[in-house]
Amino acid sequence: MSRWGRAAAHAVFVITFLAFWEFAAKKGWLDPVFFGFPSGIAEYLWDGFAVRKTLWLQLGYTVVGTLVSFFLGSFLAIVLALAFVTWPRLEHAMDPYLMVLNATPRIALAPLFLLWFGLGIGSKIAVGTSLSFFIVLSSTVAGIRGVNPDHLILSRSLGARPLQLFFKVTLPSAVPVIFSGLRLALIFSMLGVIGAELIAAEHGLGQTLSYLQSTFNMNGVMGLLVLLALLGMAVTRGMTRLERALLKWQ
């Protein structure tokens, strides 16, 4: 089947599904209190983004929180990973503590972070960062350790200095593994941010979702779930694009 053919088949399926849902909810076969209406969901999103435009602010908080968590966590993790590779003793000494922290379900730290950093953007960044950090740390260490020893032997015999070895051999060879960590870290940053918002926050899609749920606005809840799914997809797509551009040689 051609690309357009497949897209058309998907469109037909989704439209049929939504039409059935709408029909079933109108008829009372599906309880709208728990499932909402597709038309109501569309109306909620239209109102939130085009008429009253209140959702932009919430979306902005979540996206900024996610990006800051991602960059902060990844940066700290890469710095620590480099230190670990340079001084294996440091890794040895810190390993048990990192293991305990990594084993703790990070979302359980959210109440603590809320007390420390308040209801603003700080607490959700703390949760998101705590998730992305460990993922990038382990993938960076693994990537750097996985360098082909032949490449190092050859480069050293050719007179490569330590910095040249790092930038010309170790780092490029580690990029694919680091990247798979970064991709996961971005998704987990979003998870951490939305989790923290669900628990308590002034702004953000998670906070809005929690409010809509408590007021039984099912169209709103469903609408936000659709929005979050699209956001997650956009994030993953973006990373894949970047990866393809950077790793053409693979």
CA-CA distance, 211 to 55, in Å (whole number)? 13
The residues that touch other proteins, with contacts defined as CB under 8 A, are 148, 150-151, 153-160, 164, 168-169, 172-173, 175, 247-250
CA distance 57 to 62: 9
The residue among 156 and 200 lying less far from other proteins, judged by its C-beta, is: 156
Of 9 and 154, which CB lies nearer to other proteins in the complex structure? 154
The first and second tokens of residue 32, run together, are 């709208």
Neighbours of 236 (CB within 10 A): 14
Min separation Cβ 158 and other proteins, Å: 4
Residue type, 13: F
Least spacing, CB of residue 169 vs other proteins, in Å: 7
Q: Quick one: 39 or 155, whose CB is closer to other proteins?
A: 155
User: Residue 170's Cα: distance from chain center in Å?
Assistant: 27
Residue of 142, 111, 105, 143 lying closest to 124 (CA atoms): 111
Q: How far is the CB of 224 from other proteins (least distance, A)?
A: 41
List all residues 6 or more positions away from 67 whose beta carbon is below 8 Å from its beta carbon. 189
CB of 36 to other proteins, least distance (A): 50
The nearer residue to other proteins, 2 or 150, going by C-beta atoms, is 150
